[in-house]
Amino acid sequence: MKILVTGGAGFIGSHVVDAYLERGHDVLVVDDLSTGKRENVNPKARLHALDIRDKKLAEVFATERPDVINHQAAKANLRESMDKPGLYADVNILGSLHLLELSRKHNVKKFIFASTGGAIYGEPEYLPADEMHPVNPLDPYGASKAAFEHYLPVYQANYSIPFTILRYANVYGPRQDPYGEAGVVAIFTVKMLHGEQAIINGSGEQERDFVYVGDVARANLLALDRGDGGFYNIGTGAGTSINDIFSRLKSSTGYEKPDVHGPAKAGEVFKIYLQADRARRELGWQPTTSLEEGLHRTVEYFRTQG
């Protein structure tokens, strides 16, 4: 099967590419390399360095004729989205729609979309949040993901393009960018390994559902032939506080500096974790990597990266 992975040079996307290649699929990557890195791209995959909004993407579709689109590419910095809502709408809605239109014109057989469970539900009315929880994002990033989700059933109904939506919890693991605003595990890990002061935003009692990137890649693998027309939370069902993450990483890295708290960030949900029972029933997916093991793998990755 030939699969086009957008954002395949990025943190999550590169792991998805690896998983597909390991199963023997033919994989091409579309990534503008604004946040993704060439070195993340598996050498067995073919990289097209393009923005998903670029008109040249039509040439890639015409030449490669992919069977499946796995759409991981997005502007994904929640805090940046508060300052640049137009940019997030342009890339995450219009760019994604461009990709979907090309899928229609070139008879793509399936469209897998990486959405967000961490930002789409807003401040939860109940926990863990399941897929039937009201969608009420608090930031333009979450709003842009929610908006594009609505196009997929339209294209399935009118153009017979099956889709599967995966709503990720807070994904962490090797290759995560430690220098952006998102990705607290990577940010803490690198600062601690370098002996720099790591800052906890707010009280640190905020809770997130931390799911290991290898488990997320496996969900994308299962979605190739399951979950048509469905949307699925991909998380652990348990919340972990930022203070707990800080403490675990402090122990793993041998960090000796004191805990320091800074101001809370605008637009952030205080507590969110996801029920993933539907993914277990319909995709055959459940997380298999414990938080302890996942953090250990992440620390060792960044330790070997220097």
- DSSP of 12-25, one letter per residue? HHHHHHHHHHHTT-
On the question of pLDDT at 180 being above 80, the answer is no
Task: Enumerate the active-site residues.
Answer: 141
**From CA 90, how far away is CA 217, in angstroms rounded?**
26
Contacts of 56 (CB under 8 A, 6+ apart): 50
Q: Is 301 inside any structural domain?
A: no
E strand or H helix at 229: none
In a domain, 275, yes or no: no
Q: How many domains does the chain have?
A: 1
Where residue 218 sits, what CATH number does that domain have?
A: 3.40.50.720
- The pLDDT, as a whole number, for residue 267 is 72
Q: Is residue 51 part of a domain?
A: yes
Where does the pLDDT of residue 268 fall: very low under 50, low under 70, confident under 90, or very high at 90 and above?
Answer: confident
In a domain? residue 290: no
Q: What is the mean predicted confidence (pLDDT) over 102-108?
A: 98
What is the chain's Cα-based Rg?
Answer: 19
Whether the per-residue pLDDT at 226 is higher than 90: the answer is yes
DSSP codes of every residue in 238-254: --EEHHHHHHHHHHHHT
Mean predicted lDDT score pLDDT of the chain: 96
Half-sphere exposure of residue 152: CA atoms within 13 angstroms, side-chain side: 24
Structural domain harbouring 218: 2-172+211-235
Residue 306's pLDDT band (cuts 50, 70, 90)? low
Query: Domain for residue 45, yes or no?
Result: yes
Residue 195's SS3 state is: coil
- Please say if the pLDDT value at position 266 is more than 80: no
CA 80 from centre of chain: 16
Indicate whether 85 pLDDT > 90: yes
pLDDT greater than 70 at residue 181: no
- Specify if 183 maps to a domain: no
Average pLDDT over residues 125-131: 98
Q: Which position has the token pair 């220097």?
A: 306
Asked which of 139-153, 179-193, 251-265 is least confident by mean pLDDT, the reply is: 179-193
